[in-house]
Every structure is written in structure tokens, then in C-alpha cells.
Structure 1
Amino acid sequence: MSAPPQEEHAIEPEAPYRVERLPRDLDRKQFACGRDPLDTYFHQQVGQDVDRGYCACFIAIHVESGQIAGYYTLAPYSVAVNEVPLSLARRLPRYNSVPCVLMGRLAVATDHKGQGLGAALLVDAWGRARGNEIGGFALIVDAKDEEAKVFYERYGFCQCEPGSLRLFLSLRKGTGPAKT
């Protein structure tokens, strides 16, 4: 039995962006966020990763211009229970690891920065991770640097370990990205 198709949707009513799965034939070369690893990945690698089933990629399209304004990737993942803060690990099953969803990359095009799109994509990613049919304990991110870490922490992400750039946000009912 196949999963229901995930339709495109506006991030919020009357939003200037819509979010959809990355189409196979889309020209990605015009996208630029200003961070070489994120740009290179989107231009050269993401299509192969999606084709191989390693991740799903979602893009934000600026409705008026049709430009790719941002993207993120989601993939199944697991985290060792000893990487989860003790206060949460006590409530988890006695397994060596717990299933999670990894948001491997999140990028906003330079022309669209400062408009709240990064936060909107983060909320969209959390919603998709929360709504997936296989479950998971948390949405995990590996912040690329301290600036990215601060961004995620503003939305309620917590460090897996002190000093780490790996952060998580619970997918449990009643939780979600904090509004800032």
C-alpha cells in the first residue's frame, strides 16, 4: 500500500511561499544561500540522495517569482539513548537507541533572508516529522555553527550534550517549535 501523496501547501494563509517536495526535473543551479556546503549539496547531491531514498527534500517556492527560496531535508535517524538528556531518557523505552527524524540541511536563499522563511521552514519540517506514519522521538539537527545553534535554540531546540552542536526538539504531542 502506498503512502498518500504529500501535497504542496502555503506555509500559512496568504504566504508568499509554498512548500513542496523537490521535483526531479527542477533546475537547482540558480539557488544560492551564501554558504558553499549548502549550495553545493543542493546543486550537486540532493537529487541523488532523494533518488536513493536517503532523504526527502522540500523546497519553498516564492509564489510570485517562481524562485526557489529555501529548502530542507528530512531523513530517518536514530540517536543513542545516552545522547539524550537524562531527564528525558528516563521516560524512554529501555532500548540502545531511539528513532528520530534528522533535518540534515536547512537553507534560505540570500534574496529571501530576513523574512521569516527559515523559521517557517523549520515549523514545516517539524510538522512533517511529527505527522510521518512511522513515528519518532525527536527532530534532530546538527547546527553548522554557533549562529545556527542560536537560531535553533530560539525555537525550543535543546542540546543533546553540553557544548554540542547537535540539538533536538521533541515530536511528542503538545510540543513544537516555540513562537518567537
Structure 2
Amino acid sequence: MELTISILDKTHQRNNFECGRPALDHYIKKQASQDTKRDLAVCYVLCRKDEPEVIGYYTLSSHAVARSEFPEELARKLPYLEIPTVLLGRLALSSSYQGKGLGEFLLTEALNRCAKLGNEMGILAVTVDPIDEDARRFYAAFGFIALPGSGRMFMTIKTIEEELPGGDQEKP
């Protein structure tokens, strides 16, 4: 199965998307294009080559985290009160494609995209707001670290560059 990732546009079919989490289903069906039009987030969709049906997606947007939210050993090295990050706001995979390594592929692709952005502008880390405990375990398995006192997690761009496969990773 050959897959492509592109920015969501009106040709993508998403009305039948179901991942098992109603909030994520609703987002791709009803709000993702509005966020893109308003420059609030960019939604990247995973589809089979030459087919418009969305089988997975993730969103990226600019974000800032207060220095005080980072672990002390990192925070003391940071000179600013607000630290630039990228927010990986949502990541979802259609239920019929789960368990095939595509969630990991989507996450790795998103993180590598963020690392490339980090080479072009100041970004310390990628942050996520896990939707539930399953999502928290998923991100933790990839090395995301909890931000003390919040439900957020983060991974530095440096960690992404050093530890994750490059942008040319093979699709499952």
C-alpha cells in the first residue's frame, strides 16, 4: 500500500473518518479546514496514493510554553520567559488502520517535519496535550517527557534530530 501525506484540502474525503475518539473524529470532519483557513493550525492528512479518503492526520501550530513549565534542569538554561515550541495538537488514525504501525509512522513524520522547521527558525521542542492515558503512554514510548504541573508532554528538537529516524523513513 503506497501512502502519501499532504496538507488537507477540499479534495480530501473525511466524512467517514472514525478513530474511536469522537473529539478527533469531529475535528477532522468539521473544524480542521476552518483552522487551516484561519492560520491557526495546519492539518496534514495520510491517504493511500491516488485516493482522497483520509486514513490519518495530525496538526501542527506554533506555540509557546512558559519556561517555568519545563523541568528545572532544562529551564535554568533557558534565557526567556516564553519558549518557542511547535504544538502537535492532534494525531489520529482511522480505526481500520490501527495496529499496523501507521500511528508511529505519522508521529515520526510529524516530528521530522518539526525538526526541519527547527533548522529554519527558533524552536526548542515539540509539545503535545495527550487526549487520554492511552495517548500519554503512546507519546511516552517515543521519549516524550511530562511537563511538570500540566498535562502536556514535550520532546526537544535536539532529541528528535539525534534519536529518531530521518525524514526518509520507510512507510509500513
Structure-2-length-normalised TM-score? 0.87
- Alpha-carbon distance in structure 2 between the residues aligned to 1:135 and 1:112: 35
Q: What is the match of residue 7 of structure 1?
A: none
Secondary structure, counterpart of 1:42 in structure 2: helix
- Shift in Å, 1:107: 0.2
Are positions 1:128 and 2:142 aligned together? Answer: no
- Determine which structure has greater relative contact order: mean sequence separation of CA pairs < 8 Å that are 6+ residues apart, divided by chain length: 2
- Shift in Å, 1:38: 0.3
Asked if the contact 2:12–2:53 (Cα under 8 Å) also holds between the matched residues in 1, the reply is no
CA deviations over 1:11-62 (Å, ceiling 9, x no partner): xxxx632211112342321211111000001100010000000011101112
- Identical-residue share of aligned pairs (%): 36
- Shift in Å, 1:87: 1.1
- Alpha-carbon distance in structure 2 between the residues aligned to 1:98 and 1:150: 25
- Alpha-carbon distance in structure 2 between the residues aligned to 1:104 and 1:18: 20
Secondary structure, counterpart of 1:140 in structure 2: strand
Aligned residues: 162
Secondary structure, counterpart of 1:156 in structure 2: coil
Are positions 1:159 and 2:146 aligned together? Answer: yes
Q: Which amino acid in 1 is paired with 2:105?
A: A
Tell me how large the CA RMSD over aligned residues is.
Answer: 1.8
Asked if the contact 1:100–1:138 (Cα under 8 Å) also holds between the matched residues in 2, the reply is yes
Q: Which amino acid in 2 is paired with 1:112?
A: Y
- Alpha-carbon distance in structure 1 between the residues aligned to 2:3 and 2:47: 5
- Alpha-carbon distance in structure 2 between the residues aligned to 1:158 and 1:135: 20
Secondary structure, counterpart of 2:62 in structure 1: strand
- Alpha-carbon distance in structure 2 between the residues aligned to 1:144 and 1:177: 23
Structure-1-length-normalised TM-score? 0.83
Asked if the contact 1:55–1:75 (Cα under 8 Å) also holds between the matched residues in 2, the reply is yes
Segments of 5+ residues of structure 1 without an aligned counterpart are: 1-14
